[in-house]
Amino acid sequence: MEKDDGGWWRIVTDRVKPGDPYGFRLESGLVVPDPASRRQFGDVHSLSVLVDPTAYEWKTAGWNGRAWEETVFYELHTGTFSPRGDFDGIVEKLDYLKETGITAIELLPVAEFGGRRGWGYDGVLLYCPHEVYGGEEGLKRLVDAAHERGLMVFLDVVYNHFGPDGNYLGAYAPEFFHEEIHTPWGAAIAYDEQPVRDFMIDNALFWLEEFRIDGLRLDAIDSIKDTTDTPLVKELAARVREVFPDRHVHITTEDDRNITWHIEREGGQPTLVSAEWNDDFHHTAHVVATHEEEGYYADYSRKSVAQMAKALATGFVFQGEHSGHRGRDVGVSSAHLPPTAFVNFLQNHDQIGNRAFGDRLADLASRRVVECLQAILLLSPQIPLMFMGDEFGSTDPFCFFTDFDGELGAAVREGRRAEFKKFAAFHDEDARKLIPDPNAETTFKASMLDWSAIGRPTYRRRLEMVKRLLERRQKLIVPLLSGELPRGCGEYHVSDETLAFVVAWHLKDGAVLHLFANLDDEPWALPSDVVTGDLTCGTLLHAHPKDAEEALKTGILPGPSVVFRLESQKLLAGAGR
């Protein structure tokens, strides 16, 4: 092989044909897989297999995607979503998801990782779909089948670190990492090296082009240690916009800093990133529902309802305020951004799986409060995301699981249990031993979604409620979210006496969407100096329970309850922003 001026080693040969295994022998004698392998002969330590990227015959070659405001995310883990545990198992459920009202499935990372089972955030071969899931052919079949049904497919990608098992880059390209810059997962990736930068940006374009993926979620971009003047995310997003000008291609990000430069709009359209995952909304909702106050929830314990209203109306909770948990001021103003610049959720893989036992909100809070929160999630103008099973109120755990053995397996197991030492329930070592072993196959199997639950009345009723909410969202709310919305379109009022609030969003064509919410057990009398106008006018989108609408007409909101109305007039006076 010869090294070019850009730092890449190259060879051109006809000795390997599609379907043949190949690898690279280092001077030390070690044989390593292709770092851009499309398929592996076995696992991450085996030879790569040459793939013809044009061999798959697409049925939906003319698919151009869907507008961002139509997005309703359904996050799923390929290995635990279906009994098959692969891409074809997802295909079998696509009609169900479409009928539910889902418009986009979001896959947890599928790049090849060590072992057979895992969340996917320890990927090492970033161009290679996990063979256990069905490899590159299986993923293309899934995307094709989804597009046939009008569903988008998003993929979670990880550019802040590589996994600990099967990453051979350091053996032949030590320049790929900065040993002196540390991250929670080891040495930082050297994004000041142009070949490294190109490798990652090309990976994003690869998924979008070769697999016709509709969008990417960039994991924990705050953990990308980029020392250059142009952040990787900025360059990556700009390249995506440049390469795919005629397709609806979307990018979302996860970031603990509450920054906004990457989600700004121009003429109502995102210039770089479509939306930010809003952990603030999740944390406020979780505290309201469970009253938990440990860990990062401590920042939300005192004024959780006020913070929820603020998040719904203006984006982030922390917009420059001091975070006691983080020990610093966090965030910048986000009130000028449209609601569609944020992805909201009540649960996701992290917020369930990073709990000691992987328990869901349905097991931690009252059913009525959870149903109220679900209505708030699905009818508010932010982009909603549900984790697999949320639509029918699943109580199945989703645990943290891996497939490591030896010293690495022991380190992961003990590290997992050590994470919970700071929580009161796990100060005792014996209590920590009860936390499921991530490497045990039983932990993985316990996380499989139980589809038989839908046959039981409680779960069936929840599913029907979600279907109704999503049908009304697409019919009545989505058309009001396109184009350029009024700047600072959200306002809110919060009760001083109870867990109640009102939010109003000024949307397209002068329409105003009102949310009346009381998450307390006691009724709330709406203050006459705050709520003005006729509470009986407009279009009722949802009332839970059903008698909440009649009570609201008299100025009383029972608890817990929510009412959504679509009006042509403003009903709030003296509200905050």
One-letter identity of residue 414: E
Q: Which residues contact 129 (CB under 8 A, 6 or more apart)?
A: 87, 110, 111, 112, 135, 136, 138, 139
Residue pLDDT, tens place only, 81-120: 999 999 999 999 999 999 999 999 999 999 999 999 999 9
> What are 129-138's pLDDT values in tens digits?
999 999 999 9
pLDDT tens-digit series, residues 36-50: 999 999 999 999 999
- pLDDT (tens digit per residue) in 221-249: 999 999 999 999 999 999 999 999 999 99
| Model confidence pLDDT, tens digit, residues 365-420 | 999 999 999 999 999 999 999 999 999 999 999 999 999 999 999 999 999 999 99
Residue 286 confidence (pLDDT) above 90: yes
Instruction: Name the percent of the chain lying above pLDDT 70.
Output: 98
Check pLDDT > 70 for residue 577: no
Q: In the predicted model, is pLDDT for residue 357 greater than 70?
A: yes
| Amino acid 301: pLDDT | 84
Q: Choose the catalytic residue: 254, 280, 299, 520.
A: 254
For residues 499 and 562, what is the distance between their CA atoms, to the nearest angstrom?
12
Check residue 280 and give its pLDDT.
98
Helix, strand and coil percent figures for the chain, each rounded to 5: 35, 20, 45
**Residue 61 Cα distances to 239, 526, 550, angstroms:** 22, 54, 51
Give the integer Cα–Cα distance in Å for 46 and 49.
10
| 6 has pLDDT over 80 | no
The single residue of 219, 280, 391, 403 carrying the catalytic annotation is 219
Integer CA distances (angstroms), 280 to 74, 120, 208, 314, in order: 19, 24, 29, 11
Residue in the structure block whose two tokens are 């755990």: 397
- Find the mean pLDDT for residues 280-299: 96
pLDDT of residue 398: 98
State the residue for tokens 């790929």: 176
Angle, nearest 10°, between helix axes 194-210 and 232-243? Answer: 40
CA distances from 108 to 49, 90, 358, 383, 464 (A): 24, 13, 16, 18, 26
User: What residue type is 8 in one-letter code?
Assistant: W
**Tens-place pLDDT, residues 506-530:** 999 999 999 999 999 999 999 877 7
SS3 labels along 108-130:
CCCEEECCCCCCCCCEEEEEEEC
Q: List CB contacts of 271: < 8 A, sequence separation 6 or more.
A: 241, 264, 265
CA 340 remoteness from chain centre: 14
In whole angstroms, what is the distance from residue 66 CA to residue 154 CA?
12
pLDDT for the residue 2:
86
**Mean pLDDT across 296-313:** 94
43-72 pLDDT tens trace? 999 999 999 999 999 999 999 999 999 999
For the stretch 550-568, pLDDT in tens is 999 899 999 999 999 998 7
Nearest Cα neighbor of 403 from 125, 108, 163 is: 163
The pLDDT > 90 percentage for the chain reads 90
Write down the mean pLDDT value for the chain.
Answer: 95
Average pLDDT over residues 305-319: 98
Task: With both helix axes pointing from N to C terminus, report the angle between 304-314 and 279-290 in degrees, rounded to the nearest 10.
Answer: 150
Statement: residue 184 has pLDDT above 90: no
527 cis-preceded (ω within 30 degrees of 0): no
Token representation of residue 14:
């006809």
CA–CA distances in Å: residue 554 to residues 48, 338, 516, 550: 69, 32, 13, 7
Q: Is 464 an active-site residue?
A: no
Q: Name the range with the highest mean pLDDT among 119-128, 172-181, 550-559.
A: 119-128
Mean pLDDT of all residues in 338-352: 98
Query: What's residue 575's pLDDT?
Result: 55
Secondary structure (3-state) at 91? helix
pLDDT for position 9: 83
- Dist. CA 193–CA 24, nearest whole Å: 22
122-135 average pLDDT score: 98
Residues 6+ apart with CB under 8 A from 414: none
Q: Residue 18 to residues 49, 53, 112, 203, 346: CA-CA distances in angstroms?
A: 7, 10, 19, 21, 45
219 catalytic residue (yes or no): yes
Task: Supply the pLDDT for residue 571.
Answer: 66
